[in-house]
Chains A and B, each alone.
Chain A
Amino acid sequence: MEFEEMQKVWNKQSNEILYVINEDALHRRVKAKKKKANRIVDITEKGLMIVNTITAGILVADAIIDKEGFWDYGGALAMLFTVGYLLVIRRKRQKSENKFDRSMLGELDHAISSTQSTISIASTMIWWYFTPIAVFTISKMIFKGASVESWLLISGAFVLAYFLVNWEKSHCHEPRKRHLESLRQKLMD
């Protein structure tokens, strides 16, 4: 069969409607999906920013009350830095959400770069988020004294958080990035 003949076969029947759409169900799902996707991201971002701002406030209050607040002021500053960082990321995400005219290559590049920045956030989170908090918390525990249970609990929480961030990075984001890069390669081959 020559290609022109294939095209004739395609034109003749490929526009026949092979499926029936349940429009009510589709409308419900599209609306639910839209709300769900927005809600999850929104709650996560806002939640993190609120928690970090409150924590910064508590640390500052603690520093004022104790009048020996070098570690607390440092901790508060680190927390406020993460809030600013989250705001920038949120703004960037909101801008890119409404772009629908990208080419396939543009879409893949965008997805690869988004996934890469998620991986970078996960990696830097360990150094710029957990490490400062761990240093401030542990320093405070050393200077003020803490029970064995507190030491076990706090260290356990840090180790768990470290493994969870690493697990998410290596089981979700890195395989997705590899998949996207292989698609890009197929497009460029």
Chain B
Amino acid sequence: MKESEQQKIFKSWLDQHKGLLFKVLRAYAFTQEDREDLFQEIAAQVWRSIPNFREESAVTTWLYRIALNIAISWNTKERKKIEPHSIEGMEHLISEKETTLDERLAWLYDQIKDMNEVDKSLTLLLLDGFSYKEMSDMLGITESHIGVKIHRIKKELIKKSEKYEYDGV
């Protein structure tokens, strides 16, 4: 595949699906530096994956699979420090837009932030409407196992939301 073609696909994937990648960033990285680092890791892997994409799955499924596989084992401790005076260190990859988030969505992200790495992935997929079958394919565990985990996650979220609605925490 020619690099120009790869670049064209990469750009179109980013334009259409960047929201998906940002959800993963928000769930797994909590400082500007960490988000930039994770975004760079995911973007590099997405770029490399383009020649292997065979359209057997939807682009969203492909991107989620790559982003979650990177995010789950991405570790802030392993993050290499960016040289403060290097060109890399000076230019930001992503900058936050000034948007007012729905208070309940912010609460939801806070709950996801407190989950373990695997539950974070499942919750994102669940909220984005993926089926048990798709989640099972992406995670590599059985649908019934997915069902058990989702039941536990939902129960926990509902319990916490009752507390949130009652006293706002």
Chain A positions within 8 Å of B, measured between CB atoms, are 1-3, 6-7, 9-23, 25-27, 29-30, 32-34, 97-108, 111, 176, 179-180, 183, 186-188
Contact = CB atoms under 8 A, between A and B. Distances in A.
Contacts, number: 156
Contacts of B10: 30
17 contacts: A1-B165, A9-B108, A10-B105, A10-B127, A10-B128, A11-B127, A12-B105, A14-B19, A14-B127, A17-B18, A19-B25, A19-B97, A22-B91, A26-B40, A26-B93, A107-B69, A183-B73
Nearest to A16: B99
Contact of B22 (A19, A23, A99, A188): A19
A25 B93 contact: yes
B21 to A, nearest CB: 9
A104 B97 contact: no
B143 interface: no
A108 B73 contact: yes
Contacts of B97: 17-20
B158 A2 contact: yes
B48 interface: yes
Contacts of A22: 91-95
Contacts of A107: 69, 73
Interface string B6-28: 01001100100011001101100
Interface string B148-167: 00000010011001101100
A25 B155 CA distance: 42
Contact of B48 (A19, A34, A101): A34
B26 A13 contact: no
Contacts of B72: 104, 108, 183
Contact of A100 (B7, B22, B26, B45): B45
B141 A100 contact: no
B88 interface: yes
B95 A20 contact: yes
Contacts of A1: 104, 158, 161-162, 164-165
Contact of A103 (B75, B99, B116, B140): B140
Contacts of B26: 18
Nearest to A110: B69
A179 B74 CA distance: 10
A5 to B, nearest CB: 8
- Minimum-distance CB pairs A-B, first 6: A103-B140, A105-B140, A1-B161, A100-B49, A19-B94, A10-B127
